[in-house]
Amino acid sequence: MGREQEISEFRRLLETATPLITVVGMAGVGKSTLVRATLSEMDQTAARFCWINCGSVEMTTEGAFALHVLNQMMIPVERDHEPGLRRLSTILAASAPIWLVLDGCDATGPWVGWLQQLIDDVPGLRILATRRRSLGLRGERLMPLGPLSIISPGHGKPSPAVTLFAERALSLDPRFELDEPGTRAIQQIVELVDGLPLAIEIVASLAQLMSVQSLAAMLATSLSPVLEESLGGAIPLNDVLNHTFRALNPEERTAIEALSLFDGTFSRAAALAVGASSLHTLSSLVSHSLLLRSDRDRFRLHALIRTYWRERRRASSSLEAERRFATFFLRQISNSLHVPTNTLSHPDDIASAWRAVEVAARIEAYADMEIVADALLRHFPSPRGGTRAAADLIQQLVIQAANSPERPGRLIPRLQVIEACIRIATGQFERAGAVLSAFKHEGNDCEDKRLQGQIEWLRAFRQWTLGDPAGALERFEQAEVLASASGDGALETLSGARICFLRYKSRTGLVSTEVLDRTVSRVAELGIHDLTIEIMIERGMVASDEGDSATAVRYLMEAISLARQTQSLPALRSARCALGLVLARSGELVKGLEVQQETRDELEANEQWYLVARSERYLAWHFLQLGQAAAIQAAGQREHHAALRVGVHRHSGWVELTYSQDALNRSDLTEAKTHLISAINIGRSYQDSAVEAQATAALAEVELALGSLPEARALVRRAYQLSTRTHQLAARVWAMIADLRVMLAGTATPQAETLALDLLDLINQHGLQLHWRPFVAYMLCFRALQAVGNPRAQEVRTVADHHLQLVSCKLPEGEVRSRFLNSQPEVAEFARLHALMDARSALGLTDRQREVLELIAVGMTNQGIADRLCISLDTARKHVNLVLAKLNVKNRTGAAHKARQLGLIS
């Protein structure tokens, strides 16, 4: 199951003239199963296959070896007469051509040499062995076998590992059902056991005792139950690994125990330093199937092997491995902050570096940690490797350091600054605010003022990110003053650059492009390339907003070039994604799609899986515009699995949001609702309020379309609460759009006008790029303002029309454009209102004639009209006749009917 490629490769190997083939792999990987499955598909008339189950049989003498082989071949042997190797050779020669399949021959001993002698002496004899390491004989060919894939092949199909679990669970319990929550839990289980078939079958057998969700929760705490359980009377994995432990020499034991400190993959240099080992030792561990080769010359331990050796290491009182681990990675952190081409580029190395900080704290190596903190702050405000988990770790370090008898006072404020940096960079604005509020400083020396300046800078950056540019500008100015007082020229320049950037971004004319160029040069001299790239990207987007696509592309290409030179993958992704967006805006949607795909491929080649997931989301948006449902599904699957590689489960929520938009484009409200509910649940489970807020707002619109107005109103209230919690303007706009749509469906016209004006101010103030959303927002505002006769309706109508044209030009002409636009109810509604306004304008009614029309509609006579408007009867008759002529109707009833059709009267 899921071994089609391996079986094909194995068959090709069997068809060669190789005399000895060994299938090697760790215990439980399915070596015997692969051999049986392959042989069952082969023509066995050309040669005889004899299965020899070696197991725990002692073959210490030549006679014992020959006797065991003959017994397994079911060849009778005379009582009290032990056959020798010559007798065995004669019998095998008479049976040739013949295959001896030695299954589970992991024991070592002299029999290995006798096997070589048999191969040399018996023509037509071929050996097929399964074991955990090579036999090391002449002419041997190896067939390495790894765990099952835990990645889905796409098209809604589960991964081979999930399929194996489901089939085994179903064979034991016919009531077992594979629903969506169960599939997610099983996916978590197979990831935890690293796709090992035996472990999957062991856990599946436990599904009779508890739900798969409970199993996943249990294994997330510890994998020990998998090591201790056995299946069908087989030896537990713990016993197999105990046997392996006894077979290792002291250096190999020391190395494997130390390497169990790693959670993911690691480099050869890290393995040699932390394991205090040689290349020969590493090679031996690989040959024992304990150490696995990964991509790009990296290594890893299987999750179960790591668990086993960690438990052995914990039983030891020695901290030497931890000290080597902490020393190696703390040195790597320091080096990576001083050398541009740093060695901490792989995500697993970054994770190990943060784990090293945790280990250093546990063994109270505060002096080493302080050196690293200083190195990090020299690159303020971008500490490398910042993740939410890293921020949580630093928070714990602050607490631990504060309670330590050593009381490392200089370390605590530095850690607080670093934590606040990471909290802001990863979108945890509330927690960043708490850290910034808790920051304490003592004294008035320059060092203290520098930290205060950094904290003020972070407060400013937080305010700007939350949509308060005026407050941010004021705080950046305070940070600039503090930096100047402390003599921190870098922070002073950085603050000044942010002030300049904010003034330029506000487009008030206070900062010219020449001033911005000089600022960029000063920042570049400091080596703060991320800000330089950010400014270049913003200049490109400003040029795009002004319709100058050529200038926009030039700026973005410069940003891409600088990001590549500085090896800043996040900045590279941002620049390339902006380029794809600019190309799409200028009508080159397909070219923009190509740029996004190139970005994804480049990130994937560098194993930047979190950034790959983000790129897949942009790709899905492009496919959404093109109406390519299958491509959207595939991009969503790739995003999900890329995010899982770095343990980020919340990306599933964004995937579900994308799927819901695709369903809405196909007018499938039921499917859209299903995906949105799933997105809300995922956002709630992983505390991702941004996902939950946008999904809740979208669900409100779906409920409205399904006719459930009360439910839609309740969801809008919830969306507002969530958008307030996330402090994200995009989520706020989604909530306001949903609210405005609900209001227009009811009777709250004055409130709708107020909300429309607020929404317009918010979009215009922050220049939000919301893809399809701008047209929807402007169209809804147009409806609200037009309903009450607000004079801004005509202006908003023009802007809405502009955005509709932008959306249309992004799409290839023909069926794709027609299908997408026809699926949007806003387009038809806008066209109707557009036509009404054009028709009203074409009538050319004066204000006085509008008044007359309203009086005609309520059934007033000419004399009544004259009395009401204080005009002569003759003038009243003239106005009535002109109204009838302009409306092209014959009588008053026809005039009233047409006026209502055109929205001239209510």
**Residue 504 forms part of a structural domain:** no
Q: Quickly state the pLDDT bin for 385 (edges 50, 70, 90).
A: very low
Helix axes 609-626, 589-605, angle to 10 degrees: 160
Q: What integer pLDDT is reported at residue 806 of this predicted model?
A: 56
The answer to whether 700 and 736 have CB atoms below 8 angstroms apart is no
Look at residue 295 and tell me if it is in a domain: yes
CA dist 181 → 173, 187, 584, 902 (Å): 18, 10, 37, 52
Which of 828, 827, 822, 820 has the alpha carbon at shortest distance from 661? 820
Please enumerate in sequence order all residues whose Cβ is within 8 A of that of 369, keeping only pairs 6 or more positions apart, or say none.
330, 357, 360, 361, 397, 411
Number of Cβ within 10 Å of residue 654's Cβ equals: 26
**Where is pLDDT greater, at 422 or 249?**
249
CA distances from 148 to 158, 294, 385, 611 (A): 12, 14, 30, 25
Query: Could you say which of 226, 249, 271 is where a domain stops?
Result: 226
| Across 55-59, 225-229, 598-602, least confident range | 55-59
Of 817 and 867, which is predicted with more confidence?
867
pLDDT at position 636: 75
Q: How many CB atoms lie within 10 A of CB 758?
A: 13
Single residue among 206, 226, 246 that ends a domain in this structure: 226
Residue 561 has pLDDT above 90, yes or no: no
Checking if the pLDDT of 816 tops 50, the result is no
Task: Answer whether residue 766 shows pLDDT above 60.
Answer: no
Find, among 673, 688, 752, the residue nearest to 722 by Cα: 688
The answer to whether residue 773 is domain-embedded is yes
Integer-rounded Cα Rg, in Å, for the chain is 36
Cα separations (Å) of 743 from 389, 699, 751, 753? 42, 15, 8, 10
The answer to whether residue 576 scores a pLDDT higher than 90 is no
Q: Would you state the structure tokens that stand for residue 821, as one six-digit string?
A: 């636009």
Highest mean pLDDT among 136-140, 454-458, 570-574, 848-852: 136-140
Query: How far is 422 from 78, CA to CA, in rounded Å?
Result: 78
Answer whether 0.85 is exceeded by the pTM.
Answer: no
Q: 669: closest CA among 714, 694, 701, 647? A: 701
Interatomic CA distance for residues 414 and 369, integer angstroms:
10
Decide which of 450 and 704 is more confident: 704
Q: What is the mean pLDDT of residues 536-556?
A: 79
Strands (E), 478-593: none
**Length of the chain in terms of residues written:** 906
Cβ neighbours for 17, distance < 8 A, ≥ 6 positions apart = none
10 occurs within a structural domain: yes
Average pLDDT over residues 46-58: 79
Work out the burial of residue 17: count CB atoms within 10 Å of its CB; fewer than 13 is exposed, 13-18 middle, 19 or more buried: exposed
Which domain CATH number covers 895? 1.10.10.10
In this structure, the number of other CB atoms found within 10 A of the CB of residue 844 comes to 9
Q: What is the structure's pLDDT at 476? A: 82
Which string of DSSP letters, residue by residue, matches 726-759? HT-HHHHHHHHHHHHHHHHHTT-HHHHHHHHHHH
Dihedral sign, Cα of residue 27, residue 28, residue 32, residue 35: negative
* Weakest-pLDDT range from 42-51, 503-512, 550-559: 503-512
Residue 219 and residue 308 share a domain: no
Element spanning 555, H or E: helix 549-565
Residues 654 and 793 in one domain: yes
Kindly tell me if the per-residue pLDDT of 329 is higher than 90: no
Residues contacting residue 495 through CB under 8 Å, at least 6 positions apart:
453, 457, 460, 476, 477, 479, 480, 483
Instruction: List the CATH number of the domain containing 653.
Output: 1.25.40.10
Kindly state whether residues 431 and 383 are assigned to the same domain.
yes
Residue 820 lies in a domain: yes
Q: How far apart are CA 457 and CA 727, in angstroms?
A: 19
Q: What is the pLDDT of residues 487-500, one digit of tens each?
A: 777 777 777 777 77
Quickly count: other Cβ atoms within 10 Å of residue 12's Cβ: 9
Q: Do both 672 and 811 map to the same domain? A: yes
Question: What does the pLDDT read at residue 23?
Answer: 94
Banded pLDDT at 601 (limits 50, 70, 90):
confident
Residue 815 in this model has a pLDDT that exceeds 70: no
At 719 the pLDDT is 87
| CB 141, CB 20: distance < 8 Å | yes
Phi, psi of 53, deg, nearest 5: -85, 105
197 with 220, same domain? yes
**Average pLDDT for 257-261:** 90
Q: What is the mean pLDDT of residues 796-802?
A: 74
Above 60 in pLDDT, residue 831? no
State mean pLDDT over 419-440: 74
Q: Are residues 370 and 324 in the same domain?
A: yes
CB-based contact 901:843 (threshold 8 Å): no
584 belongs to a structural domain: no
| Residue-level pLDDT at 65 | 85
According to the model, what pLDDT value does residue 143 have? 92
Q: Which residue has the tokens 């996943």?
A: 216
Q: Which of 134-143, 683-692, 725-734, 746-755 has the highest mean pLDDT?
A: 134-143
More confident residue, 683 or 161: 161
- Identify whether residues 166 and 221 lie together within a single domain: yes
Say if residues 833 and 812 touch (Cβ distance below 8 Å).
Answer: no
Query: According to the model, what pLDDT value does residue 387 have?
Result: 60
Looking at the DSSP bridge assignments, the partners of residue 50 are: 100
Indicate which CATH number applies to the domain containing 302.
1.10.10
pLDDT of residue 610 exceeding 70, the answer is no
Q: Which two tokens stand for residue 160?
A: 């081979």
Please give the span between the terminal C-alpha atoms of the chain, in angstroms, as a whole number: 69
Asked whether 309 and 285 are in contact (CB, 8 A), the reply is: no
- Which two structure tokens, joined as six digits, stand for 752? 């709708």
Domain region containing 752: 629-830
Question: H or E stretch including 130?
Answer: strand 125-131
The set of long-range contacts for 751-755, using a CB threshold of 8 Å and a minimum separation of 24, is: 752/784, 752/787, 753/784, 753/785, 753/787, 753/788, 753/790, 755/784
Between CA 415 and CA 391 the distance in angstroms is: 10
Q: What is the DSSP letter of 288?
A: T
Cβ atoms of 195 and 24 within 8 Å: the answer is no
Distance of alpha carbon 721 from its chain centroid, rounded? 25
pLDDT of residue 20: 94
Q: Rounded to whole angstroms, how far apart are CA atoms 156 and 212?
A: 20
Tokens of 221: 């705490």
Query: Is pLDDT at 884 greater than 70 in this prediction?
Result: yes
Give the mean pLDDT of 408-417.
74
Instruction: Report in angstroms the alpha-carbon separations of 346 from 324, 339, 449, 577.
Output: 20, 16, 35, 22
Which residues are 141's β-sheet partners?
21
Q: In whole angstroms, how far apart are CA 402 and each of 405, 537, 663?
A: 8, 42, 53
Instruction: Mark whether 303 and 389 lie in a shared domain.
Output: no
pLDDT for 573: 76
Instruction: For the chain, give the mean pLDDT.
Output: 78
Burial 161-179 (b: 16+ CB within 10 A, else e): bbbbbbebbeeeeeebebe
Residue 544 near residue 584, CB atoms below 8 Å: no
Local structure of 157: helix, strand or coil? strand
Q: What is the pLDDT of residue 445?
A: 47
Strands 140-144, 48-53: parallel, antiparallel or unpaired by DSSP? unpaired
Q: Which of 270-279, 637-646, 764-773 comes out lowest in average pLDDT?
A: 764-773
Question: For 94-146, what is each residue's pLDDT tens digit?
Answer: 888 888 999 888 887 888 888 999 999 898 899 999 988 888 899 899 998 98
Place of tokens 């505390």: 687
Residues 221 and 283 in one domain: no
Cβ-based neighbours of 721, under 8 Å, separated by 6 or more: none
Task: Compute the half-sphere exposure of residue 221: CA atoms within 13 Å on the CB side of its CA.
Answer: 6
DSSP assignment letter at 154: B
Q: Which one, of 696, 764, 688, 763, lies nearest residue 730 by Cα?
A: 763
Final residue belonging to a domain, choices 438, 469, 495? 438
Q: Does residue 809 register a pLDDT over 70?
A: no
Residue 119's domain is classified under what CATH number?
A: 3.40.50.300
Least-confidence region, from 257-271, 618-632, 831-845: 831-845
Q: Which residues pair with 48 in a beta bridge?
A: 98
Phi and psi, residue 292, nearest 5°: -105, 140
Does 341 have pLDDT greater than 50?
no
pLDDT winner (highest mean) among 4-13, 516-525, 638-647:
4-13
Q: Which SS3 state, helix, strand or coil, does residue 293 take? A: strand
What's the order of all strands across the beta sheet hosting 125-131? 48-53, 98-103, 125-131, 20-24, 140-144
Q: Specify the range with the lowest mean pLDDT, choosing from 167-176, 192-201, 893-902.
A: 893-902
Q: Is residue 802 part of a domain?
A: yes
Q: Rounded to whole angstroms, how far apart are CA atoms 475 and 457?
A: 7
705 lies in the same domain as 814: yes
Give the span between the Cα atoms of 290 and 286, in whole angstroms: 6
Residue 84: DSSP 8-state: -
Q: What does the block give as tokens for 268?
A: 């050869």
Residues 197, 61, single domain; the answer is no
Q: Which of 108-112, 384-388, 562-566, 677-681 has the lowest mean pLDDT?
A: 384-388
Query: How far, in Å, CA of 69 to CA of 92, rounded?
Result: 10
pLDDT digits (tens, 9 = 90+) for 354-378: 778 777 767 766 666 666 666 566 5
pLDDT at 771: 43
338 located within any domain: yes
Q: What pLDDT is stored for residue 383 in this prediction?
A: 46
Same domain, 668 and 814: yes
CA distances from 766 to 466, 469, 507, 571 (A): 11, 9, 11, 22
Place of tokens 């690691």: 266
For the chain, how many structural domains are there in total? 6
Q: List C-alpha distances in Å: 377 to 120, 345, 372.
A: 67, 19, 9
Q: Residue 772: its pLDDT value, please?
A: 44
